[in-house]
A and B are shown apart, each in its own frame.
Chain A
Amino acid sequence: MSRLLSEQEYRKTKAFKVKRWYRGEKDPYIGRVELRPQKPFEEDVNTQKKRIHDEAILQRNIYDIEHNRKLMLFSKFYKVISVLFVFTLIGILLYMVSYLPPVGNAANPDNNEVATKYIEDAMKDTGAVNIVTGMILDYRAFDTLGESNVLFIATCTVLILLRVDNRSKKKEEEENDRLYEPKNDIILQKVAFFLVPMIIIFGIYVILNGHLSPGGGFSGGAIIGSGLILYVNAFGFKKIERFFTQKTYKWICFAALLFYCLAKTYSFYCGAHHLETGIPLGTPGDILSSGLILPLNICVGMVVACTMYAFYAMFRKGGF
């Protein structure tokens, strides 16, 4: 009841809705969340027979130790040997560690001209304020090129294992996707509505500032990927497919990695022949500086974001 508004106007305000929710008169979930009740588990006779048969085989070959002497011997032997082995290995490694150079000692062998040059000259050589980014994307760019290809090939392997290409099977997978879990969860949607843009913008910031502050393509890409995963969890695949499908994924990965390869081929070639690349380094500290590092960071970020999301979608329903 309000003193300033009439009963009818008061009923339209948010305060009234909150009050009703607080008193337990109305549940905002009801009528909005899609929730399917679970059916009792049924099994036809053939599959049941097969299952019982398989379980019997498993039992006989793996767990039934009493009647299988070979298995019994093996399992005992295995346990003893593995424990012994692990403790020996731990012992050897601990013994070895005690002979390693002490941490933080200035006279350590790894405190040599390599690290000194990285620390002293990185900003001048690469134009990046963040020395780590300068190292991975300029000094040792070949390793990072390999590393981004590791990500690429890891997604390809997951695609081999989990992608469903058969059309009828695909439809079935789509129908079974999170069948018994609530959809359109209003709390999740409201939170995601605020969080997803912020997460994605923060990811973009981390990528674009990779050469100026801690971060870079790998970490920024992971942040964007988690934003996308939150989005798809809150709003479902239909919404995300308006701007991100399997095709988008394929082309983004392709374009980013191809650009990476071509740019680095050019830069390696020029470097090996002592030619100028003609790419300006700019003033260290500016957003548009440090030559190729910024575009490469963007490429790596896109690949990582897509990879994160693709893994999630593959594991959830074998495609997206």
Chain B
Amino acid sequence: MDFIRNFPFFSILLSLGSGVLTSIMNRKVARLWNTFVLIAVTVMSAVLFVYMLGVGEPYTFMMGHFPAPWGNEIRAGVLEAGMALFFCVVMLLSMKGGEEHIDREIEDTKINLYYIMINLLLSSLLALIYTNDLFTAYVFVEINTISACGLIMIRQSGRTIEAATRYMIMSSLGSGLLLMGLCVLYDITGHLLMSNIKESIAYVYAQGTYNIPLVASIGMVCVGLAIKSALYPFHTWLPDAYGYSTVSSAAILSSLVSKGYIFLLIKIFFRVVGFDIIVDTKIVNILFVFGLLGMIMGSVNAIMENDIRRMVAFSSVAQIGYIYMGLGLGTTFGITASIFHILSHASTKSLLFVAAAGLTDASGGSKRFEDLTGSGYRNPMAGIAFTMGACSMVGIPLFSGFISKVLFAEAAVQNSLSKMLPTLICLAISTVLNAIYFMKTVIRLYTPKSRKVKKTEAGEAAIVSFREHPLYNFTLILMIALNMLLGCCSQPIADWIISGINMFG
């Protein structure tokens, strides 16, 4: 066995162990160690990704002395390695972009707890990506939920506590449904390992003995994961959680945590139940309808919002709607478009949150639109970055959002008429709505009226020079570069996603 094949195992255990290690560190060491872990995992994932592209075959890795149905197992393919690499890069950038805010907004003695949360969140995301066992997935979903809750409430104010409580209630409901679904799946198949479940489900479905429990369990898993990733009617926890937590938390929550659950759902579609059976049970149609609803309603709510962070948060609801709409199309093209949109949205949304933090800092900490007028001049780098992110979200060519919209449209055209029309219509409406609220914001950022320093409700608005925050600006540049990379080199990335999905089968 090649040594590189150990890397998924090393990255999970390194991040899990460093959560424990961080508990005795002070905040400076904790931050350094966290950066080291993130870089190490990024490098390992990158090496694994390149290696997997060369090998072209997925492999399984035994966690312990016992082979798969008895012991635990993880599995790596091209798609898993690429996702791990991308998630680590986005997490590193979000952490670095919000570093000053972490120091400012969190109590000094609790900063190392924040880094514990980040390390364990990373390990749980990696485990969700690599796992080949449904129960392992559930255990790490728990870690993911609790650490996300900690990330929300570590900036202690009434709003974040309320947001964390809401998140906890909704998320526990989602976890409960997921667990029930897994129990029923175990009851009718007798396995927890993904490949074995798939075999027995194919057999059971052909026999027709347990079709009702099968459909019910798939439904419960889908709804549970949809609640946890904030699909439209279950999105109520989201705006407060993203709007009031510290910047890094908001960026990580919106771009990674919800995406981890969606990736797990895609994995369950392909590796556990089998995509043909999923399409045959018509569950995708329900996801499709709610996805379309989310695309429209998220944007409508975002237009009515008067707080820049909450507006970006509501925009997340719309984007999650896009992803579920892609899943709901019920074709491999739709899934490809969804996975591309996961990447595109993760890179753009983290950019928007970090840039919005820079703009609010230049407006005396106020997040209201009246106070943000002209802040694009006061903090030029953040203004440019926000504009770029907005362009990407709206779907201007050269940016990643354009490609994902093109992919969605392509996937829709290859579908039957009854799904093609609603998809295309909603895509068009949603794009217009996106343009309305993002362009509204950008125009406000560059309205020159209040270029002079103005006193706002929250504090003094001040001009932030370019040199003042080198790390922050550098991070923004890297995020823009990542976004452009996704937008300009879309073909190899789409090829990689398609080959990864084929490896799932």
Taking beta carbons and an 8 Å cutoff, which residues of A are in contact with B?
92-93, 95-96, 99-101, 108-115, 117-118, 125, 138-143, 145-147, 149-150, 152-154, 156-157, 159-161, 163, 165, 250-251, 253-254, 257-258, 261-262, 264-265, 267-273, 277
Contacts and interface: CB of A to CB of B under 8 A. Distances in A.
A311 to B, nearest CB: 14
Interface of B: 1, 6, 9, 13, 16-17, 19-21, 23-24, 61-66, 69-72, 107-110, 113, 116-117, 120, 123, 127, 133, 135-136, 139-140, 142-143, 146-147, 149-150, 153-154, 161, 184, 186-191, 200, 204, 210, 212-213, 216
A143 B117 contact: no
Given A149-B16, A267-B65, A268-B64, A140 B147 contact: no
Nearest to A264: B13
A99 B187 CA distance: 11
Nearest to A118: B70
A13 to B, nearest CB: 55
B64 A138 contact: yes
A99 B210 contact: yes
Contacts of A156: 23, 113, 116-117, 150
A159 B113 contact: yes
A113 B210 contact: no
Contacts, number: 170
Nearest to B192: A114
A142 B116 CA distance: 20
B9 A268 contact: yes
18 contacts: A100-B213, A101-B210, A114-B69, A138-B64, A139-B66, A139-B70, A140-B64, A141-B63, A141-B64, A143-B139, A150-B143, A152-B20, A153-B146, A160-B153, A165-B109, A165-B110, A271-B71, A272-B1
B149 A143 contact: no
Contacts of A160: 110, 113, 150, 153-154
A112 B61 CA distance: 23
A250 B23 CA distance: 8
Contact of B187 (A101, A112, A143, A165): A101
Given A146-B136, A153-B19, A265-B17, A112 B63 contact: no
A114 B190 contact: yes
A141 B63 CA distance: 8
A280 to B, nearest CB: 14
A96 B213 contact: yes
Contacts of A114: 69-70, 190-191
Given A146-B140, A251-B24, 18 more contacts: A96-B216, A101-B188, A101-B210, A108-B187, A108-B190, A109-B187, A112-B190, A113-B69, A114-B70, A138-B64, A142-B63, A142-B72, A143-B72, A143-B139, A145-B16, A146-B16, A153-B19, A261-B17
Given A99-B212, A100-B213, A160-B153, A271 B143 contact: no
A140 B71 contact: yes
Q: Which of A111, A125, A160, A161 has the most CB of B within 10 A?
A: A160
A257 B64 CA distance: 18
A110 to B, nearest CB: 4
Contacts of A101: 187-188, 210
B234 to A, nearest CB: 13
B238 to A, nearest CB: 20
B113 A257 contact: no
Given A156-B113, A271-B65, A109 B200 contact: yes
A159 B109 CA distance: 11
Contacts of B1: 272-273
B65 A257 contact: no
The 7 closest A-B pairs by CB, nearest first: A110-B190, A271-B65, A146-B139, A142-B72, A109-B190, A96-B216, A165-B109
